[in-house]
């Protein structure tokens, strides 16, 4: 072999995966960032009530696997020459049970919700999903947790200073508050994992439940209490307790 000839063992490709609102995209690049190939797959979305948008983590992961396989096969690299993979995705909340199986977040798809103002067409909802595609993802653009976000912002808590002064209903804390309120106790207790979507993807790829710093700090408002000296009231559970107490007082009036 000539000295300047590249050894097959030196060839390295890298896969980037981006999960957007309606599709998954995967690309293969060289060490120098040269784009070699790309694949795209659409994803399913369930929306039967204004402001509510749900997806399936199974459908998303199936689309990821399909895109990655297609992109790699088109790139000229073998599987052994792929040196790494990275994931990027929307701020969507994935809910799994304790066995890491999808847990429904759609009110009308089973009886696990305390339904109050339910305007879903449940027949259409059921017909557009299969047994393998449970609606277990609250999409970033879902605004069912507007009331919960407003309540959290009204506290004017110091934690809000670290996320631009206010929290959006598109973030995960208001969504968690909504689930805690609307899921019945049995279903909520079945929950074992609440993932920001990028962390779910790394979980499926590696089996590890490690979270990214961005997900924890920006999406779940996690702060190191020892570092910033914040009380326990930064947690979702405590804010939820305050919200329920306030609603109880309103009912008494």
Tens digits of per-residue pLDDT, 204-226? 999 999 998 888 888 888 887 66
Q: How confident is the model at residue 251 (pLDDT cuts 50, 70, 90)?
A: low
Q: Would you state the pLDDT for residue 234?
A: 46
Query: Looking at residue 7, what DSSP letter applies?
Result: P
119 or 110, greater pLDDT: 110
Nearest to 112 by CA among 99, 101, 125, 103: 103
* Nearest C-alpha neighbor of 61 from the set 24, 95, 98, 86: 24
Q: Are 93 and 169 in contact (CB under 8 A)?
A: no
Predicted pLDDT of residue 224: 74
Distance (Å, rounded) from C-alpha 78 to C-alpha 99? 33
Q: For residue 179, is pLDDT > 80?
A: yes
Task: Determine the Cα–Cα distance for residues 104 and 87; give it in Å rounded to an integer.
Answer: 24
pTM higher than 0.85:
no
Is the pLDDT confidence value at 118 over 80?
no
- Above 50 in pLDDT, residue 247? yes
CA-to-CA dists, residue 69 to 14, 44, 75, 83, 222, angstroms? 13, 20, 10, 15, 35
Can you tell me the distance from the alpha carbon of 224 to that of 227, in angstroms, rounded to the nearest whole number? Answer: 5
Across the range 41-65, mean pLDDT stands at 94
Pairing of strands 54-55, 191-196: unpaired
> What was the pLDDT predicted at 158?
83
The stretches of 6-145 forming alpha helices (DSSP H) are 57-75, 122-127
Q: Cβ-count burial of 42 within 10 angstroms (0-12 exposed, 13-18 middle, 19+ buried)? A: exposed
Read off the pLDDT of each residue in 92-112 and give the average, rounded to a whole number: 85
Q: How far apart are the C-alpha atoms of 65 and 48, rounded to whole Å?
A: 28
**Higher local confidence (pLDDT), 24 or 130:** 24
Evaluate if residue 62 carries a pLDDT over 90: yes
The confidence score (pLDDT) of residue 137 equals 97
Reference 209, options 94, 112, 105; nearest CA is: 94
Confidence band for 228, pLDDT divided at 50, 70 and 90: low
Averaged confidence pLDDT in the chain: 83
Per-residue pLDDT for 119 more than 50?
no
pLDDT at position 170, please?
93
Residue 225 has a pLDDT of 67
For 120-174, the pLDDT digits (tens) are 334 444 434 444 679 999 999 999 999 999 999 998 888 888 888 999 999 999 9
Q: H helices within the chain, ranges in order?
A: 57-75, 122-127, 146-154, 172-182, 185-190, 197-206, 213-214, 225-228, 236-252
Check whether 198 has a pLDDT greater than 80. yes
Q: Is the pLDDT of residue 6 over 70?
A: no
User: How far apart (Å, rounded) are the C-alpha atoms in residues 221 and 177?
Assistant: 13
């Amino acid at each position: 072999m000539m000295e300047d000839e590249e050894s097959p063992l030196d060839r390295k490709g890298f896969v980037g995966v981006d999960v957007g609102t309606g599709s998954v995209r995967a690309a293969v690049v060289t060490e120098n960032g040269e784009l070699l190939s790309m694949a795209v797959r659409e994803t399913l979305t369930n929306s039967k009530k204004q402001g509510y948008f749900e997806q399936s983590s199974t459908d998303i992961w199936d689309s990821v696997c399909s895109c990655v396989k297609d992109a790699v096969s088109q790139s000229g690299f073998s599987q052994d020459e792929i040196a790494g993979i990275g994931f990027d995705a929307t701020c969507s909340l994935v809910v799994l049970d304790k066995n890491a199986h999808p847990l429904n977040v759609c009110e009308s798809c089973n009886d696990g919700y305390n339904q109050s103002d339910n305007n879903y067409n449940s027949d259409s909802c059921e017909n557009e999903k299969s047994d393998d595609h449970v609606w277990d993802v609250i999409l970033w653009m879902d605004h069912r947790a507007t009331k919960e976000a407003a309540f959290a912002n009204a506290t004017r808590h110091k934690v809000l200073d670290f996320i631009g002064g206010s929290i959006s209903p598109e973030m995960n804390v208001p969504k968690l508050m909504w689930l805690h309120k609307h899921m019945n106790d049995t279903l909520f207790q079945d929950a074992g994992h609440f993932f920001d979507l990028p962390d779910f993807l790394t979980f499926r790829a590696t089996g590890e439940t490690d979270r990214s710093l961005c997900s924890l700090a920006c999406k779940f408002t996690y702060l190191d209490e020892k570092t910033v000296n914040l009380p326990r009231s930064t947690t979702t559970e405590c804010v939820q307790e305050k919200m329920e107490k306030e609603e109880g007082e309103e009912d008494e009036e």
